[in-house]
Structure formats: structure tokens, C-alpha cells
Structure 1
């Protein structure tokens, strides 16, 4: 919530949705504090979807986000998914590109101001 919602004046609880119960969640802890999170949803056509990915600003660039994405990819691959999709904010495009994701297209505008881009990754090299 602190990273993905609060800066845009979204109410507490807006980070929750109907997929919370069926999704695989990942959290990175440091000294009992959550400093990174991510979620794996089942998309369609046997693809997983990374959602609600965030790392506290002070810890970005330390490998935490990469570890979370790798964990989510491993979980997705273990259940038999063919690949992964996600909708990245503009400031995260380079991060996902370094992890092997390809830009597909401009997607939606969140909260009327945060441009997102559809990215995808196939697991052809990981099976």
C-alpha cells in the first residue's frame, strides 16, 4: 500500500481485491519488516501474471525485486504455465526488460495518471 497506493491518495484497503485468496503471494522481510512484495495470478491460456509488485524505495537496486520475480516465475513454471505477463509502470520497464520481459504494448492508465505497459516472457528456455 505504501508504495503502490498511498502516493496517489488511494484509500487503505484499495490494495485488496477478489483475487487475493487464490493468488500466490511473495514477501521479502528484513528485521521483521516487509520491504518487498509481489503476487502471482493465473491469467489465461496457461500464463501467469505478476501483480502488485513493489520494493521499498531505499532497497530498490539490491536484488530484492529480482528475487521476488524469480520466485513467482518458479511457482508459475512449477504449475505448468507457458510464460508470464505483467503490466509495468513506465519507471519499471528497464527492470523487467533486464529480467527477460518484452514490451508488447501500451496498456492502461492507472488512477488517471500512471501509464502501464503490457510485457510478457515465455518460458521456452526454462523447461
Structure 2
């Protein structure tokens, strides 16, 4: 598995296709709803192997010295195999290199145990997506080395 920042048109197409198929399509959301208005301002990571996209995620600066992870998606047949963990580790390293001291995210209820295993803690219950997917605001302090 290799972690890259999508660069080519084909890579971006595959990146958004996975995001759509995992995070939007199962809830009958329209194609295009997986693309956010601030994509150009975010850091994007995708995990690939044998020209197949295994997982994707993005992070942007949401406050001074704070990154926010959004749109984490791992292909259904790749879940539980370390793809999400590798992506999150890469995003945390990028946040630390920017001097950000914490990361926040809005986790779907079924993903809370995954994020807890990575050191994130629940701050509060947040919103209900599509009228059925409870989200939780989670945070992790980063260990910045001087």
C-alpha cells in the first residue's frame, strides 16, 4: 500500500468515486455531493495498491493550529486492514509538520471505536446526517516535538 496526494485527473476521479461510493451513495445522495466547496484548500491523502484506491481522506485548517479531518472513506473490502489507520497517521504527521497542535473530526457513530483506538476522544454528540447517522465531535491533541 502506498499513500499519495492525488495529482492527476484520473487520481482525483478515483478519489472522489471512492468517497461517493462509501459516504454518499448508500444513502441515495446525488453524485457530486461528495465534493466540498473548499477542496482546493485541503490536504488530501489516498491509499492505493495495484492501481486500486483503498481509502481516502482530507484535512484542512479549521482554527489556529487546528486541523479538521473530513470525508474519511475506506473501501468496504479493505476495512479493518489498517488502511484507515495509515491514512490517519499520515494526516497527523502532516498536521504536526504544520505546527497544528490538535485535530478535530465529526465521526459517524460506527466509526467512534476506530477513532478512540487512535487516541481521539468524544467532546460531544453533534449532528444527525441524512436523518439517521449520528455524529460525534472528537478531538486529539498532537505531540509536537520542538
TM-score bracket, normalised by the shorter chain, equals over 0.9
Match of residue 61, structure 1, among 76, 80, 103: 80
Matches within 5 A, 1:33-44: 33-44=52-63
Task: List, as ranges, runs of 4+ consecutive aligned residues in structure 1 with deviation greater than 3 Å.
Answer: none
Q: Which runs of 5+ in 2 are unaligned?
A: 1-19
In structure 1, what is the Cα distance between the partners aligned to 2:42 and 2:52? 21
Q: TM-score, normalised by structure 1?
A: 0.95
2:112 is the counterpart of 1:104: no
In structure 2, what is the Cα distance between the partners aligned to 1:17 and 1:37? 14
SS for the counterpart of 1:80 is coil
- Following superposition, the deviation at residue 43 of structure 1 comes to 0.8
Match of residue 85, structure 1, among 104, 107, 110: 104
2:23 is the counterpart of 1:13: no
Equivalent residue pairs, number: 126
Q: CA RMSD in A?
A: 0.9
In structure 2, what is the Cα distance between the partners aligned to 1:59 and 1:126? 31
* Per-residue deviation, residues 32-78 of structure 1 (Å, max 9, x unmatched): 12120010111113110110001111111111100000000111110
In structure 1, what is the Cα distance between the partners aligned to 2:103 and 2:111? 16
Larger % of helix: which? 2
Q: Which runs of 5+ in 1 are unaligned?
A: none
Q: TM-score, normalised by structure 2?
A: 0.83
- Following superposition, the deviation at residue 93 of structure 1 comes to 0.5
